[in-house]
Structure 1
């Protein structure tokens, strides 16, 4: 039986003469099956010295990469997985700067260089942005494998041309190297390689008992040589390689095969299929039992009609990554695989409960407190998306589950937009379900967190009234001027006795113009619980909004009286 990939790793980091260490390093050697499917990861980030927050950027970049990379689909190649994760991290850092006091001074924002080395099977995958460097030991020489993204203007003036957090879209260098037993790779920041020679690095590696000792000695020598920056180094040596398998190469460039047609009582990839949950044009969902653990799970397979649509399959596998990134009690969880997956499918937790659609059928006239509890939990789940710069885009009652303990969970992430990852050019004009889609989608605009707030407000309105806030024709309105002429149907009537400020809250959340809605979910939830002073200070609602029929009847009566008076005169 082939032995798995094994390595030795040594690393060290030091703040040097600086007050704080703005470097970050990390690595992960996972257990099987992740060792075979995802490989071993080393990552390093170097925050820029002009920024007081770049240490947050560097530590976030390394920690997020180590976490999120292992959450990506087993069906993705290393390049696909790592690039999607890095782009997501980049956009998150860029957004932090944009929303901070440093929005106009990027050199003081959340910016960091980044380099990662992924060792999988017989291949080293290199990802790089900035001026950290990756070297390979060849004989008695160090070969630099990365190119510095730094422009030198003079001896005193130079600046980074590329790094995490500078721009919303990141171009990252990637290439791969075939590895052999005994190969040594080194990742180092400029505080190290600018102050110590290649020969000194080699001597420390060769003469030291362990790679950790070698890393510490290299740091010490660089400090003694006058290094005026933070110093970090990682050294990895390949101790054993697995047998070279052609199937592993093929998995790099092709997706896993689609599963066969699943039926009840069928044994499939270590699961027993129990029953069909639903079949749609985009996916097939089944209840299954893990034969190994005895856990009841949900298996989702791609639609057979779209099996040749590469873009659809990529989007399908993104769902698993999204679920793994969102560790929130109000979001359905992905199930971590305990064995190698042989087909393309998703596994998530089984939620023993009902959809919100069914709940509304069972509770046609809920109390305001019942509605508040469900909406508040849903909002907490949505907040987990928004914190990761993601928009759900398909929030509707069928995608909200209420379990047997009355815990609300958001499901189905097939339409989720991920900033920095989702290709806007390939986005569908309208994502999600028409009745719950925000008006901006019908204009061909990209959605935002306010679009999710709109969908949540529609659900709130529907739960309270059994109706929708606008006529179904809203989906056919294709201009902003026409949308502005749409009339919001007040929640308040003779059959509903909610406070008028609840209607004001929904009116704001359901505004056809995104910028006039709530900016944060927490604001919307707060106003559902507490009367907003801006609302209760208003006078009573105009009659035309409270009762349009009565309003026009009154106008007609006034006009009739004017005519009668004119005739009498």
Structure 2
């Protein structure tokens, strides 16, 4: 077995007897680590002969697929990433047709057949619309892996029942097949496979050759000689080596031993331990220096007490995996090291500064503008995670670092959830694993026997209903953090964690952040109230909207009725009422005395 996917590629395309070649094909084989993570991509498209613009459609389909697939989130699985790209391409092609003179003639618009394969690890992920084909030759047997989307009207006439760009709705075939060394994937357009018999294809593909380009050209030439009057394209991909199976975090957790307790001066896998930073019943965190580069790193190691907790060990390993795939100034990064590890731990870059919890202790009454700058940077880090389809799920002051220069970094990704992670690593991270308890009130973190990811005081209410959460759940946590920075309090106290039914959550009452001692505009309170709605659908749609409204008053809030004076300033209200009553009593006494 090799450490990477090894392939041999060849292709040949020809206009044949037609004046224009409306076929298109292409391949993209990136270098590691992207090859191991995203795989190698291959695509073939065939424009329909009745359309004068289908050559543009086929070229666009192939190019956009090969380019855009590698721009998708590493957190998406292959099917999700490829289908999102195809949906975008389909929408663009369909839109072009609707804006053209052919909007009422589908067979003259931006339409093409399309077949693609993503080779990742020892699997091939196939995507198909139309009547181009993908075959697999294995040990002398040629198997057609795709199904032609062609409807026949009688014995002579037919039409495509599915094609890229033909409709607003995309219905793409998806199939996953195994790969073995020696497998040959064959991509053809109908100008080839409708002319050459299956047996002839099998014989020609099985012949020994020094170049797959030569084999592809020989097939095209044979189809032309056999009477093909269409465009002709063949693309061949031979698997010459497969990578070793990627160990899942669970498998790594089972194969690597836990490191021993360490002290300053000890060595571990090329690191020198400088000092212990943190120790608890769950983990030990050390500051270490890489002996080869001299760069410092933070090593996090599980407690020996958790050696038999595979869920925790898996989450620990996932933290570093996530950090390597998010590129943001405001999200912690994984340390750079290419040495094999002999123990189970994570290595992260050092983030200089103090935790937001420490900062809040030193700055108990921060200015509104200071809070805005902190919140905006946290939001930027969360947005980078969300773009990669990752939810943080444990936003709290202890998981945020502020540097001496004021740069804010989100750390501790151990509770994060990644969409699509189950395919790259065959294990799935469950949202029911536990991490931290509620501050000052541990009993509130219990939800009908289920423990919640994150710290309950900052956790969105939907998690306590058993929901998986969304980007709006991280928004709720950020709004709680904003509220806490401004007031030192929490919008619902400790009640959220106790509300494990929708009916109970309907009874939650938001506590206004306004106070006689705080210089906070009423529209800021309205912004927080919206972001902190128990129902996620009533919150802001995006983090950017919430951050924008922290600086720019929403006209709806400005025109809304302000809370009664008694609610905004209860002490001053009752003092005023008492004063009025006192004056009334004095006035009445004066009237009584004067009449006497």
Where on the TM-score scale, by shorter chain, does this alignment land: which range? 0.7 to 0.9
Deviation, 1:263, is 0.7
CA pair 43-258 structure 1, distance change in 2 beyond 3 A: farther
1:261 match: 260
1:77 match: none
Q: How does 1:394-473 map to 2 (within 5 A)?
A: 394-421=394-421, 427-428=432-433, 430-473=452-495
CA pair 476-232 structure 1, distance change in 2 beyond 3 A: farther
State whether residues 275 and 287 of structure 1, in contact with CA within 8 Å, keep that contact through their aligned partners in structure 2.
yes
- The answer as to 2:363 corresponding to 1:356 is no
1:63 match: 70
Q: How does 1:163-562 map to 2 (within 5 A)?
A: 173-177=176-180, 179=181, 183=182, 185-186=184-185, 188=187, 194=193, 197=196, 210-211=211-212, 225=228, 233-236=235-238, 238=240, 254-255=251-252, 256-264=255-263, 265-421=265-421, 427-428=432-433, 430-543=452-565, 545-547=567-569
**Whole-angstrom CA distance in 2 between matches of 1:290 and 1:25:** 39
* Gap regions ≥5 residues in structure 2: 49-53, 95-109, 153-157, 164-168, 423-427, 434-449, 585-596
CA pair 172-316 structure 1, distance change in 2 beyond 3 A: farther
Deviation, 1:369, is 1.4
1:105 match: none
| Worse-superposed segment, 472-481 or 491-500 | 472-481
State whether residues 279 and 285 of structure 1, in contact with CA within 8 Å, keep that contact through their aligned partners in structure 2.
yes
State whether residues 13 and 25 of structure 1, in contact with CA within 8 Å, keep that contact through their aligned partners in structure 2.
no
CA pair 58-112 structure 1, distance change in 2 beyond 3 A: farther
State whether residues 116 and 127 of structure 1, in contact with CA within 8 Å, keep that contact through their aligned partners in structure 2.
yes
Deviation per residue, 1:76-118 (Å, 9 max, x gap)? xxxxxxxx7325536866997999999xxxxx99x98653335
| Worse-superposed segment, 511-520 or 149-158 | 149-158
CA pair 42-284 structure 1, distance change in 2 beyond 3 A: same
- Secondary structure at the counterpart of residue 287 of structure 1: strand
Deviation, 1:520, is 0.6
Deviation, 1:556, is 12
**Whole-angstrom CA distance in 1 between matches of 2:328 and 2:39:** 26
State whether residues 300 and 347 of structure 2, in contact with CA within 8 Å, keep that contact through their aligned partners in structure 1.
yes
**Whole-angstrom CA distance in 2 between matches of 1:351 and 1:54:** 43
**Whole-angstrom CA distance in 1 between matches of 2:87 and 2:389:** 8
When normalised by structure 2's length, the TM-score is 0.70
Deviation, 1:457, is 0.6
1:122 match: none
2:145 match: 147
Deviation, 1:221, is 7.7
Deviation, 1:49, is 8.2
CA pair 472-129 structure 1, distance change in 2 beyond 3 A: same
Deviation per residue, 1:262-309 (Å, 9 max, x gap)? 412221112122222223454433222111111111222344333334
**Whole-angstrom CA distance in 2 between matches of 1:421 and 1:5:** 20
- Secondary structure at the counterpart of residue 321 of structure 2: helix
**Whole-angstrom CA distance in 2 between matches of 1:215 and 1:317:** 45
**Whole-angstrom CA distance in 2 between matches of 1:377 and 1:133:** 48
Q: How does 1:24-173 map to 2 (within 5 A)?
A: 25-30=27-32, 41-45=39-43, 58-59=65-66, 62-63=69-70, 68=74, 85-86=77-78, 89=81, 114-118=116-120, 125-131=122-128, 133=134, 135-136=136-137, 138=139, 141=140, 143-144=142-143, 147-148=145-146, 154=152, 156=159, 158=161, 173=176
- Secondary structure at the counterpart of residue 29 of structure 2: strand
- Secondary structure at the counterpart of residue 352 of structure 1: coil
Deviation, 1:546, is 1.6
Deviation, 1:555, is 10
**Whole-angstrom CA distance in 1 between matches of 2:417 and 2:372:** 27
- The answer as to 2:13 corresponding to 1:10 is no
* Gap regions ≥5 residues in structure 1: 73-83, 103-107, 120-124, 161-165, 243-247, 562-569
- Secondary structure at the counterpart of residue 297 of structure 1: strand
CA pair 211-333 structure 1, distance change in 2 beyond 3 A: farther
When normalised by structure 1's length, the TM-score is 0.73
CA pair 219-305 structure 1, distance change in 2 beyond 3 A: farther
State whether residues 26 and 62 of structure 1, in contact with CA within 8 Å, keep that contact through their aligned partners in structure 2.
no
Deviation per residue, 1:179-219 (Å, 9 max, x gap)? 3xxx4633536568735757669869979765566667767
**Whole-angstrom CA distance in 2 between matches of 1:529 and 1:116:** 45
**Whole-angstrom CA distance in 2 between matches of 1:98 and 1:389:** 22
